[in-house]
């Protein structure tokens, strides 16, 4: 039920957001002075940040539903640019303006949109970093993992409405053994790989060693996170999980 509501809200926002953007652009082109006067007004200025929040929320929805993943970073860039322009224009006007209202009239609930807009950008930025395979922990291996994940961009995009887990092999692996993306009915990483090995037996020796563990030259990610169990391959998969098998880099 929650998935249905999520898709419904995504559909509504996908329709209303372009309308909001078009209205804002038309107003800006037709009445630029009125728009500027609104941005620097103590009561109306923060209201313009609803455009920022709407953009970031739609981007987060696209990321959560795996729709148009290559467009999501553009939503982040647009939201961040609008945030910088509106926020600093508004705050600068409040700081240097000669006529300042008192707190009881100058500060109202719309100022909370400064927090809402900033938070929405932070959420979207986190989603984009996970899409790129960036780890949230700051350890010495983070910089080494980033080049490996660049191979993921060469893979085919997953279906719009995935019903089962999908497994993808990087182009660097397919140069040795052709293995197209597959839809897998599996609950663990081990089950998913076994299903692939049935169709492509030669791949087993390239992926696993004699003990059935992942070979050191490979890195496997489930939903953007590196697998923890490289020996028993017990990492759990969901119905919409995406498994990426990539060629790890050697050296420092």
Domain limit, last residue, from 131, 157, 187: 131
- Report yes or no on 62 lying in a domain: yes
Rounded Cα–Cα distance for residues 9 and 3 (Å): 10
Instruction: Note whether 50 and 17 are same-domain residues.
Output: yes
Domain boundary among 98, 131, 164: 131
147 shares its domain with 127: no
Q: Which are the contacts of 117, defined by CB distance < 8 A and separation ≥ 6?
A: 49, 50, 52, 53, 56, 79, 83, 87
Interatomic CA distance for residues 252 and 250, integer angstroms: 7
Q: Can you give the pLDDT at residue 155? A: 46
Same domain for 194 and 222? yes
> Same domain for 12 and 122?
yes
225/178 Cα distance (integer angstroms): 24
For 213-234, the pLDDT digits (tens) are 998 888 999 998 999 999 999 9
CA atoms of 247 and 152, how far apart (whole Å): 10
The pLDDT value given to residue 47: 84
Q: Are residues 125 and 171 in the same domain?
A: no
- For residue 139, the model assigns a pLDDT of 46
Domain-embedded: residue 162: yes
Question: Which one has a higher pLDDT value, 105 or 141?
Answer: 105
Q: Are residues 157 and 88 located together in one domain of the fold?
A: no
The terminus-to-terminus CA distance of the chain in angstroms comes to 47
171: nearest Cα among 189, 150, 147, 195: 150
Domain total in the chain: 2
| Domain stops at, among 93, 108, 131 | 131
Helix (H, G, I), strand (E, B) or coil at 167: strand
Tell me, yes or no, whether 10 and 109 share the same domain.
yes
Same domain? For 158 and 184 the reply is yes
Whether 244 and 155 have beta carbons less than 8 Å apart is answered as: yes
Residues 7 and 109 in one domain: yes
Report if residue 200 sits inside a domain.
yes
Verify that 55 and 155 share a domain, yes or no.
no
Phi and psi torsions of 160, nearest 5°: -70, -35
Structure tokens belonging to residue 95: 């700081």
Scanning the chain, the segments in alpha helix (DSSP H) are: 2-30, 32-39, 49-64, 72-96, 103-106, 113-131, 142-149, 171-174, 189-199, 202-207
Please check whether residues 184 and 108 belong to one and the same domain: no
The answer on 112 and 6 residing in a single domain is yes
For residue range 127-139, list pLDDT tens digits in order. Answer: 888 766 543 444 4
Inform me whether the pLDDT recorded for 159 exceeds 60: no
Domain assignment of residue 6, given as a range: 2-131
Write down the pTM of the prediction: 0.49
pLDDT tens column, 77-109:
998 999 999 888 888 888 887 676 666 666 677
Report the CATH number at residue 219: 3.10.20.30
């Amino acid at each position: 039920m929650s998935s249905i509501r999520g898709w419904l809200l995504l559909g509504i926002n996908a329709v209303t957001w372009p309308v909001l953007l078009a209205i804002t652009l038309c107003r800006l082109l037709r009445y630029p002075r009125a728009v500027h006067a609104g941005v620097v007004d103590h009561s109306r200025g923060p209201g313009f940040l609803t455009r920022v929040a709407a953009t970031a929320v739609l981007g987060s929805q696209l990321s959560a539903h795996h729709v148009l993943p290559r467009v999501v970073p553009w939503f982040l860039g647009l939201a961040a640019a609008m945030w910088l322009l509106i926020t600093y224009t508004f705050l600068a006007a409040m700081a240097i303006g000669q006529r300042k209202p008192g707190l009881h009239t100058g500060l109202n609930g719309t100022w909370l949109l400064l927090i809402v807009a900033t938070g929405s950008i932070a959420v979207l930025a986190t989603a984009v970093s996970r899409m790129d395979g960036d780890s949230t922990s700051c350890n010495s291996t983070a910089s080494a993992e980033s080049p490996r994940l660049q191979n993921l961009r060469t893979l085919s995009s997953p279906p719009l409405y995935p019903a089962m887990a999908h497994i993808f092999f990087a182009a660097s692996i397919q140069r040795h053994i052709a293995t197209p993306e597959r839809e897998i009915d599996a609950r663990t990483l081990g089950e998913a790989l076994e299903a692939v090995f049935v169709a492509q037996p030669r791949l087993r020796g390239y992926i696993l060693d004699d003990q059935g563990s992942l070979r050191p030259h490979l890195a496997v990610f489930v939903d953007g996170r590196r697998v923890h169990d490289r020996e028993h391959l017990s990492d759990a998969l969901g119905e919409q999980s995406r498994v990426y098998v990539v060629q790890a880099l050697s050296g420092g």
